[in-house]
Structure 1
Amino acid sequence: MIVREALIVIDYTNDFVAPEGRLTCGEPGQNIEGRLVSILQQFHRQEQEIFFAVDVHEENDPCHPETALFPPHNIRGTSGRDQYGKVQTFLDELGAEWPAHIHWHDKTRYSAFAGTPLELQLRERGITHLHLVGVCTDICILHTAVDAYNRGFALTVHEDAVQSFNPDGHTWALAHFKNCLGATVVSD
């Protein structure tokens, strides 16, 4: 069986990573930038599928469940939704027309699968193995990993390219990926 792989970059936005981000994991998230960019560039050079799964919220949305849990973040049309640092530079250098192997999905829930065409696009491309990077390990990475597992995808989580604002949650999630989802957890 041919294993086709894809990279999912989850929520590596200014609001989640930058020092002035509205719900930032701060320095731990900033410290993974180099490794995340290295993985991103590797997939790009090999023209492997890359999916950006990016949290989006509407200003003052009283119906969204996160409104009661977190301060406003990743509001549509704000720079808080831009990718952080060198990841945004990578996208800017692609120009207005991205190569066919790079995709962007707005998501309104923790999982990159919830309410997006991600699964359909993965299946159309014969993808069987997902690599996960981004933030937050114990929230959006976790929920995406569980959904991927339940849909039959093999998983690799890049320990040195995921992070959280909750160190205990980060550590717990890494063990959960390996012990409960059968994911390969790697570090360069």
Structure 2
Amino acid sequence: MAETYDPRRTAVLLVDPYNDFISEGGKLWPRLEPVAKKVGLLDNLRSVVTSAREAGIQVVFVPHRRWEPGDYETWAHPNPTQRNIKERHTFARGSWGGEFHPDFQPQAGDVVVHEHWAQSGFANTDLDFQLKQHGITHAVVVGVLANTCIESTGRFAMELGYHVTLVRDATAAFLPEMMNAAHELNGPTYAHAIVATGELVTAFEEARS
């Protein structure tokens, strides 16, 4: 792979690793499960995060807003996802579904940014500020969903001047068609690199040596 990742300048953005998304019993897991299992989502996320930490690469948690009573009730323009969250109480604060998957818990040195209300991890959060304070120029965006929060966060990162990497099998979506759109149609219009987990881990290992 031609891309190189300086550990001092690279961050892995782990987007929305909630139980409701990626754990058995989660509210959205039944919709995500077929694609997630096909691509090996959980194992690949573990590999990316573990290899990043071993290489000294910054890990940044980019969480969605945890639902609370009253959210979106008086909003003028809640989007379809927000309307669904209001009905289903997805990622409810204080609930198991609103906790991070047990394999993806913040560790010392990780950054957990402010929760995003919609799809971009940058809009109305401190993500850009945190990345700049840590000297980050390269953002590797993983987690869920490929065609919503991953794409929106990646696009926003590109607009702000970051080098953006997408990882085909360290993300998932509700349908294969959504994955295809995220990586074959839309991703090439903004991402600087679209790679597989194995390629990325090798690049991280090379960055250590």
Give the structure 1 partner of residue 35 of structure 2.
28
Q: Secondary structure at the match of 1:147?
A: helix
In structure 2, distance between residues paired with 1:9 and 1:135: 8
What residue number does 2:51 align with?
42
The counterpart of 2:93, out of the listed 76, 87, 109, is 76
SS at match of 1:50: strand
Conservation of the 8 A alpha-carbon contact between 2:21 and 2:27: yes
User: Which residue number in structure 1 is paired with residue 130 of structure 2?
Assistant: 121
Distance 1:104 1:29 in 2: 24
> Cα RMSD between the aligned structures?
2.0
In 2: Cα distance, 1:34 partner to 1:40 partner: 10
How far apart, in 1, do the equivalents of 2:50 and 2:69 lie? 33
Structure 1 residues 173-182 or 49-58, which shifts more? 173-182
Q: 1:9-24 counterparts in 2 under 5 A? A: 9-24=14-29
Moved over 4 A (4+): none
Give the secondary-structure state (helix, strand or coil) at the position aligned to 1:86.
coil
Residue 144 of structure 1, CA deviation: 0.4
**1:41-89 per-position Cα deviation (integer Å, ceiling 9, x unaligned):** 111112221111111222352246234245321111111122225324x
In structure 2, do the counterparts of structure 1 residues 63 and 51 end up closer, same or farther at CA, with 3 Å as the change threshold? farther
How many pairs align? 178
After superposition, the C-alpha distances for 1:95-135 in whole angstroms (9 at most, x for unaligned) are: xxx422x0112222211112211101111122111001111
Query: Counterpart of 2:202?
Result: none
> Are the equivalent residues in 2 in contact too, given 1:155–1:183 (CA < 8 A)?
yes
Q: Which has the higher contact order (CA 8 A, sep 6+)?
A: 2
Query: How much identity, in percent, do the aligned residues show?
Result: 25
Structure 2 counterpart of 1:145, one-letter code = G
Alignment of 1:110-149 (within 5 A): 110-149=119-158
Structure with higher strand content? 1
Whether 1:59 and 2:69 are equivalent positions in the alignment is yes
Q: Distance in 2 between the 1:170 and 1:80 partners?
A: 24
The aligned counterpart of 2:104 is 87
| Cα distance in 2, alignment partners of residues 81 and 119 from structure 1 | 24
Specify every segment of 5 or more residues in structure 2 that has no aligned partner in the other structure, as ranges. 199-209
Rounded Cα–Cα distance in structure 2 between residues aligned with 1:19 and 1:151: 36
Superposition TM-score, scaled by structure 2 size = 0.77
Q: CA deviation at 1:33?
A: 0.6
